[in-house]
Structure 1
Amino acid sequence: MQIADLGDVKLHYRIDGDPDGVPVVFSNSLGTDLRLWDPILPYLPKGLKLIRYDKRGHGLSSMPRGPYSMGALVRDVERLMDLLEIKKALFVGLSIGGMTAQGLAVKRLDLIRAMVLSNTGAKIGTPEVWDQRIAEVKANGIEALADGIMERWFSKGFRSTLELELWRNMLVRQPDEGYAGCSAAISGTDFYTPTSGLRLPTLGIAGSEDGSTPPDLVRETVDLIPGSQFHLIRKAGHLPCVEQPEEYAAVLTKFMRDTGHI
């Protein structure tokens, strides 16, 4: 575990795998920390430099006063990659992490040679929906929303397992202010026009039972980018890397081979 002091924010990050390997940067979803990617790591090929981080207001990163903008989230990972001298990475973003990926690709294509847009969209929800969620979190905490979020995050089968408790606990232990701050960033983001101008290898991944970013939204988003690919993972919700880690890792590995990343 390491901390990067970026001035207005201190980001917790960690690097696994081969320190001299080809870089893969992971950006996780709202309400989770970098442990989101733990289930897939054993299934990834050797020779990769795996960079994960907690976005501002989450995990072990610092929590500047909110609300946050998507520009700030993009700038955070841009500065982290510059600090670590990471270029031409495969960037894997899930949910808000996928929005961050789109924003970073538009701003700094030198940092990204290919990207995976997992369970995300160019625009997610409406400002009204996010305003309501932010107000609820500020009034009653994440705990008040947790059961509904679990239904959107996971398939019915997974919700009947004991493992669900791990992810529910991870959600409710994120800071309320950090969750609300990042919710505001999603609320204010519409990347349909800038994403449609991107030209880089792109893979979309969706979960068949995703109640937060349905497969049609993911497909619509990656279809904005010519030559993109799309993969649907069945029996999975919003976090298919948790429910179907072997398939998720296999899809990532194939995409890396197809694009010459490994």
Structure 2
Amino acid sequence: MAQVQLADGALNYQLDGPEGAPVLVLSNSLGTDLHMWDTQVPAFAAHFRVLRYDTRGHGASLVTEGPYSIEQLGQDVLALLDALKIERAHFCGLSMGGLIGQWLGINAGERLNRLIVCNTAAKIGSPDTWNPRIEMVLRDGKAAMVGLRDASIERWFTPGYSSTNPGQAKRITDMLASTSPQGYAANCGAVRDADFRDQLGEIKAPLLVISGSHDAVTPPAGGLFIQENVAGAEYAEFHAAHLSNVEVGEPFSRRVIDFLLAR
């Protein structure tokens, strides 16, 4: 892994795959880090130069004072691309990463080849949901993050998956417990304030929307709304909860690759 220096700190990233191949940027969900994509990297790296990064406030990236905004997080992606001299790339983001993808599609479409947004919505939750969580995390710190980790298993995975893959479920949810409370709360603010429902028509990049049929965090209706409001957008739905890339694995990877390689 490596870092690029932004104006206010360092953004952590990792590159896999052959130099010279088309670049695919992967953007993590709230409370995870770039390793949430470990399942996909071998398949993706066979076709693409895979660029993963820890969103501001997560993993080994900078933690700055919040709240953040999705625009700020999108500008971080553009700064990363600029630093690595990448003019255009594919982008795949899940949940909060999907919000970042929508912002890029609306505001920086000239930097995108194709766009995938997964387990996300044009608006996720309401202040009544986010504000108590932000207050709890800022008040209770690491203890709150451990509590969120323990509650996240049933939100992020179906019962069948978590019971048959306890090690993988623990690996992913442990990322939440190790996330900076300040960074997590600041990103909650970004998700809380994002609302792209009236701007989706501005996305011109070829778009694939992926949902999980058992996703209680961002139900399929939110993904279908995006697909219906972006001209030519494709839609795929898997038997999964919120982290469909982890739970479904190979079929998820294959659908993304097929979309990105389509002519």
TM-score normalized by the length of structure 1? 0.95
Correspondence for 1:159:
162
CA distances 1:25-82 after superposition (whole Å, capped 9, x unpaired): 1111000000011001222362411001001110010101111111210111111111
Correspondence for 1:40:
40
In structure 1, runs of 5+ residues without a counterpart are none
Name the stretch that deviates more: 137-146 or 113-122. 137-146
Greater than 3 Å deviation, 4+ residue runs: none
Name the aligned partner's letter for residue 37 of structure 1. Answer: W
> Does residue 1:256 correspond to 2:245, yes or no?
no
Mapping for residues 70-219 of structure 1, pairs under 5 Å: 70-140=70-140, 141-160=144-163, 161-163=165-167, 164-219=169-224
CA contact (8 A) 1:117 1:222 kept: no
Name the aligned partner's letter for residue 129 of structure 2. Answer: V
CA distance in 1, matches of 2:45, 2:152: 32
| Partner secondary structure for residue 198 of structure 2 | helix
Name the stretch that deviates more: 178-187 or 151-160. 151-160
> Does residue 1:222 correspond to 2:232, yes or no?
no
Name the aligned partner's letter for residue 211 of structure 2. Answer: A
Name the aligned partner's letter for residue 134 of structure 2. Answer: I
Percent identity (aligned): 35
CA contact (8 A) 1:137 1:144 kept: no
Correspondence for 1:233:
238
TM-score normalized by the length of structure 2? 0.94
CA distance in 1, matches of 2:55, 2:80: 11
CA contact (8 A) 1:137 1:145 kept: no
Name the aligned partner's letter for residue 176 of structure 1. Answer: P
CA contact (8 A) 2:109 2:203 kept: no
Alpha-carbon distance, 1:162 to partner: 2.1
CA contact (8 A) 2:26 2:93 kept: yes
CA contact (8 A) 1:70 1:186 kept: yes
Name the aligned partner's letter for residue 254 of structure 1. Answer: D
Number of positions where the alignment pairs a residue of Structure 1 with one of Structure 2 = 258
CA contact (8 A) 2:109 2:204 kept: no
CA distance in 2, matches of 1:49, 1:129: 37
Name the aligned partner's letter for residue 257 of structure 2. Answer: T
Alpha-carbon distance, 1:167 to partner: 1.6
Alpha-carbon distance, 1:100 to partner: 0.5
CA contact (8 A) 1:9 1:56 kept: no
CA distance in 2, matches of 1:69, 1:230: 27
In structure 2, runs of 5+ residues without a counterpart are none
